[in-house]
Amino acid sequence: MRLNSRAWIIWVLVVSVLAMSARNPLYSIILLVLSITAIQFYARTESPIRSVFFRIALGVILFSAIYHALFIHTGDHVIFELPDYPLIGGVITVEAIVDGLRNGLVLITLIAVFMALNSIVPSRELVRLVPAAFQDLAVVVMIAVTYVPETRRHLRRIQQAQAIRGHRPHGLKDWRPLIIPLLVGGLERAMKLSEAMVARGYVSEQSVENRAPDKVFLITGLLLALVGWMAAMLWGTIGYLLLTLGGLILLMLLARRGKRTRRTSFVAVRWSAIDTILVITSLAALALVVAPWPGLRRVALSYIPYPALHVPNFQPIVAIAFVLLSFPIFLAVVKSSDPDSLGKRNQKPSTAGGEIRQMR
């Protein structure tokens, strides 16, 4: 089942905010599992979770643990003591290592969340969600973003071609002749993508035309914003008023440029009731964690292993928020367990020879 890209972006933003605000290892593990499970069910490719992510996650966690152990010398459980070296000299404690593991877990959770956004939402829909005034910039960013995965696919093709020829590169000397074809292949893909975007009406002369009133509004808005920012540090209210006025002028300029840019789509992406439920459950989960509820202890949302190591706390209200965030996972499980969908999935298409035999 395909959900709307706007609903997925809201879900990703909510999970990101919760991962940064609730810095508890128990909460981070649950958010990490939710992100990876969403990729498994909704990703556009067959095997989005690769060993590269797990190697990156292991490296991030180890680096964070070692960094905290060397630079934070606090805690009751001392493992050993380093000599009096600059910056890193002192005791190495279990609490510092656990704190580093906690921070590393938060980082890889954020990586998994944005990897879910990249795997589920196509880049063309991200471009379409950008305001019309920033369409040219969005196209350039999309070409730059797609350059890396296309170069990786081209590298896989080169490796397969070399394997067919019986050649397996082992060192830097063997890889040196393949670097130029790899880079050229990625650039060719980016050029083809840009030509296809121009052929479909992107970056037309009408959308990039700069009129004289627009230049005047742009200069005026930037000057008012700059003067207001400087005056806010001296006089306060007057500076904030000028800064607000400059921001409104810039927003009006963006709205005018957006109206002159016409965009069409080959397939209209509609908003369904399930998308509305996904947005409501995501915002409700955010409200359960962020809002100051009577039974919610703000201190228990985070985890501080100092001065002595202890078990992280788990709040029941946060558990309800995680249940709400798992709505797309529940929807995918229900859809996959549907007998009709399973029958369609297991049904084999008839071949042309079979159709001819049936006609005979």
pLDDT per residue over 232-286, tens digit each? Answer: 777 777 888 888 888 888 888 877 776 766 666 666 668 888 989 999 999 999 9
Which of 139, 263, 261 has the alpha carbon at shortest distance from 194?
A: 139
| pLDDT computed for residue 45 by the predictor | 63
Residue 340 has pLDDT above 60, yes or no: no
pLDDT in tens, 122-160: 777 777 777 766 766 666 766 666 676 677 777 778 778
Claim: this prediction has a pTM higher than 0.85: no
Mean pLDDT of all residues in 16-39: 90
Residue closest to 67 by CA, chosen among 29, 32, 103: 103
Report pLDDT digits (tens) over 281-302: 999 999 888 887 776 777 777 8
Mark residue 166 as left, alpha or beta (left: phi above 0; alpha: psi -120 to 50; beta: remaining): left
pLDDT of residue 309: 81
pLDDT at 145: 66
pLDDT of residue 103: 92
47-56, 238-247, 299-308, 350-359: range with highest mean pLDDT: 238-247
Q: Express as a percent the part of the chain with pLDDT over 70.
A: 76
| pLDDT at residue 359, as a whole number | 35
Burial 216-255 (b: 16+ CB within 10 A, else e): ebbeebeebbebbeebbeeeeeebeebbebbeebbeebbe
What lies within 8 Å, CB to CB, of 314 at 6+ separation is: 24, 26, 300
Which tokens hold the place of 47? 């095997």
pLDDT tens figures, 180-198: 777 777 777 777 776 776 6
Residue 350 has pLDDT above 70, yes or no: no
Percent of the chain with pLDDT over 90: 13
pLDDT higher than 50, residue 16: yes
CA dihedral of residues 172, 176, 182, 188 (deg, nearest 10)? 150
Q: Which of 52-56, 201-205, 280-284 has the lowest mean pLDDT?
A: 201-205
Band the pLDDT of 121: cuts 50, 70, 90.
confident
pLDDT (0 to 100) of residue 171:
67
Q: Reduced to 3 states, what is the DSSP secondary structure of residue 247? A: helix
